[in-house]
Amino acid sequence: MDGSQDAFTSEEICEQAKGNVGGLSLLLLTYARDRGHPLDEAARFFGRVFAPSWDEVSARDARTAARWAALNMVTGGGELRRLEGDARLAESVIGRWPLDEDRAFFGLSQQEADMLYALFTPIAERLGLAYTWSRDGDAVTMTFAAED
Protein backbone atom coordinates (compact mmCIF):
# COMPACT_ATOMS: atom_id res chain seq x y z
CA MET A 1 0.00 0.00 0.00
CA ASP A 2 1.43 3.37 -1.03
CA GLY A 3 0.80 6.02 1.60
CA SER A 4 2.67 8.79 -0.19
CA GLN A 5 -0.56 10.56 -1.12
CA ASP A 6 -1.25 10.78 2.61
CA ALA A 7 2.14 12.28 3.45
CA PHE A 8 2.12 15.27 5.78
CA THR A 9 3.55 18.61 4.79
CA SER A 10 6.21 20.26 6.92
CA GLU A 11 3.68 22.96 7.76
CA GLU A 12 1.12 20.39 8.98
CA ILE A 13 3.74 18.69 11.13
CA CYS A 14 4.94 22.00 12.58
CA GLU A 15 1.41 23.15 13.45
CA GLN A 16 0.58 19.82 15.09
CA ALA A 17 3.84 19.86 17.04
CA LYS A 18 3.11 23.39 18.31
CA GLY A 19 -0.27 22.28 19.58
CA ASN A 20 1.22 19.21 21.21
CA VAL A 21 4.01 21.14 22.98
CA GLY A 22 1.61 23.79 24.25
CA GLY A 23 -0.93 21.18 25.30
CA LEU A 24 1.60 19.03 27.13
CA SER A 25 2.87 22.09 28.99
CA LEU A 26 -0.64 22.92 30.18
CA LEU A 27 -1.26 19.26 30.97
CA LEU A 28 1.76 19.25 33.31
CA LEU A 29 0.23 22.14 35.24
CA THR A 30 -3.22 20.56 35.30
CA TYR A 31 -1.75 17.29 36.59
CA ALA A 32 0.14 19.09 39.36
CA ARG A 33 -2.88 21.18 40.38
CA ASP A 34 -5.18 18.15 40.46
CA ARG A 35 -2.76 16.43 42.84
CA GLY A 36 -2.48 19.44 45.11
CA HIS A 37 1.08 20.37 44.11
CA PRO A 38 2.16 24.01 43.69
CA LEU A 39 2.21 24.82 39.98
CA ASP A 40 5.40 26.86 40.13
CA GLU A 41 7.18 23.87 41.70
CA ALA A 42 5.96 21.63 38.87
CA ALA A 43 7.25 24.14 36.32
CA ARG A 44 10.62 24.41 38.09
CA PHE A 45 10.84 20.60 38.08
CA PHE A 46 10.25 20.72 34.33
CA GLY A 47 13.04 23.31 34.05
CA ARG A 48 15.47 21.27 36.18
CA VAL A 49 14.93 18.25 33.95
CA PHE A 50 15.59 20.27 30.78
CA ALA A 51 18.36 22.52 32.18
CA PRO A 52 21.25 20.24 31.10
CA SER A 53 20.08 20.52 27.48
CA TRP A 54 20.91 24.24 27.68
CA ASP A 55 24.59 23.63 28.50
CA GLU A 56 25.66 24.73 25.03
CA VAL A 57 24.50 28.24 25.92
CA SER A 58 27.55 30.14 27.14
CA ALA A 59 27.44 30.77 30.87
CA ARG A 60 26.10 34.21 31.74
CA ASP A 61 24.93 34.88 28.15
CA ALA A 62 21.61 36.63 28.76
CA ARG A 63 20.87 37.29 25.06
CA THR A 64 21.16 33.64 24.03
CA ALA A 65 19.15 32.49 27.05
CA ALA A 66 16.37 34.98 26.25
CA ARG A 67 16.37 33.83 22.62
CA TRP A 68 16.18 30.14 23.56
CA ALA A 69 13.42 30.78 26.11
CA ALA A 70 11.46 32.70 23.49
CA LEU A 71 11.96 29.91 20.96
CA ASN A 72 10.64 27.39 23.47
CA MET A 73 7.53 29.46 24.10
CA VAL A 74 6.95 30.01 20.38
CA THR A 75 7.25 26.29 19.66
CA GLY A 76 4.43 25.86 22.18
CA GLY A 77 2.21 28.28 20.29
CA GLY A 78 3.30 31.67 21.63
CA GLU A 79 4.05 34.69 19.47
CA LEU A 80 7.41 36.46 19.61
CA ARG A 81 6.74 40.16 19.98
CA ARG A 82 10.21 41.39 20.86
CA LEU A 83 13.71 40.12 21.58
CA GLU A 84 16.41 42.56 22.54
CA GLY A 85 19.47 42.99 24.70
CA ASP A 86 23.00 41.76 24.97
CA ALA A 87 25.01 39.17 26.89
CA ARG A 88 24.56 41.09 30.18
CA LEU A 89 20.83 41.88 30.03
CA ALA A 90 18.21 40.68 27.57
CA GLU A 91 14.48 40.25 27.39
CA SER A 92 11.95 38.59 25.19
CA VAL A 93 8.27 39.37 25.01
CA ILE A 94 5.86 36.55 24.20
CA GLY A 95 2.24 37.17 23.34
CA ARG A 96 -0.83 35.04 22.97
CA TRP A 97 0.26 32.15 25.17
CA PRO A 98 -1.68 30.32 26.12
CA LEU A 99 -4.77 30.96 24.08
CA ASP A 100 -7.98 31.30 26.07
CA GLU A 101 -9.48 28.21 24.44
CA ASP A 102 -6.43 26.13 25.37
CA ARG A 103 -6.59 27.28 28.99
CA ALA A 104 -10.32 26.54 29.04
CA PHE A 105 -9.77 23.05 27.63
CA PHE A 106 -7.45 22.25 30.56
CA GLY A 107 -9.53 24.21 33.09
CA LEU A 108 -6.68 26.58 33.99
CA SER A 109 -6.90 30.25 34.91
CA GLN A 110 -4.45 32.69 33.34
CA GLN A 111 -2.60 32.90 36.66
CA GLU A 112 -2.29 29.11 36.82
CA ALA A 113 -1.09 28.82 33.22
CA ASP A 114 1.44 31.59 33.78
CA MET A 115 3.20 29.44 36.36
CA LEU A 116 4.82 27.62 33.43
CA TYR A 117 7.16 30.61 33.02
CA ALA A 118 8.86 29.51 36.26
CA LEU A 119 10.43 26.66 34.28
CA PHE A 120 13.20 29.02 33.12
CA THR A 121 14.32 29.77 36.72
CA PRO A 122 16.47 26.64 37.22
CA ILE A 123 17.77 26.94 33.66
CA ALA A 124 18.88 30.53 34.30
CA GLU A 125 20.46 29.53 37.60
CA ARG A 126 22.46 26.80 35.86
CA LEU A 127 23.71 29.41 33.39
CA GLY A 128 24.66 31.93 36.10
CA LEU A 129 21.79 34.26 35.20
CA ALA A 130 19.01 35.93 37.12
CA TYR A 131 15.56 35.45 35.61
CA THR A 132 12.26 37.25 36.10
CA TRP A 133 9.01 37.34 34.19
CA SER A 134 5.94 39.54 34.29
CA ARG A 135 2.61 39.69 32.48
CA ASP A 136 1.12 42.84 30.97
CA GLY A 137 -2.16 42.17 29.17
CA ASP A 138 -1.72 39.35 26.69
CA ALA A 139 2.09 39.47 26.76
CA VAL A 140 4.77 38.15 29.09
CA THR A 141 8.21 39.71 29.36
CA MET A 142 11.01 37.32 30.30
CA THR A 143 14.19 39.02 31.49
CA PHE A 144 17.60 37.38 31.84
CA ALA A 145 20.52 39.17 33.48
CA ALA A 146 24.09 38.17 34.15
CA GLU A 147 24.71 37.95 37.88
CA ASP A 148 27.66 39.94 39.16
CATH number for 137: 3.30.1380.20
Q: Which of 2-11, 89-98, 102-111 is least confident?
A: 2-11
pLDDT band at 59 (very low <50, low <70, confident <90, very high): confident
> β-strands 129-136, 79-85: how paired?
unpaired
Q: Is the pLDDT of residue 4 over 80?
A: no
Q: What percent of the chain has pLDDT over 90?
A: 92
Whole-prediction pTM: 0.91
Q: What DSSP character marks residue 51?
A: G
Does residue 4 form part of some domain? no
Residue 4, class by beta-carbon neighbours within 10 Å (0-12 exposed, 13-18 middle, 19+ buried)? exposed
CA 32, 99, 77: angle at the middle one, nearest 5? 85
Terminal-residue alpha carbon distance, the chain: 62
Residue 42 has pLDDT above 60, yes or no: yes
Domain that holds residue 72: 9-146
How many other β-carbons are positioned within 10 Å of the β-carbon of residue 82? 13
* Within a domain: 135: yes
Cβ neighbours of 111 (radius 10 Å): 9
Q: How many domains does the chain have?
A: 1
Confidence band (pLDDT; 50, 70, 90) for 31? very high
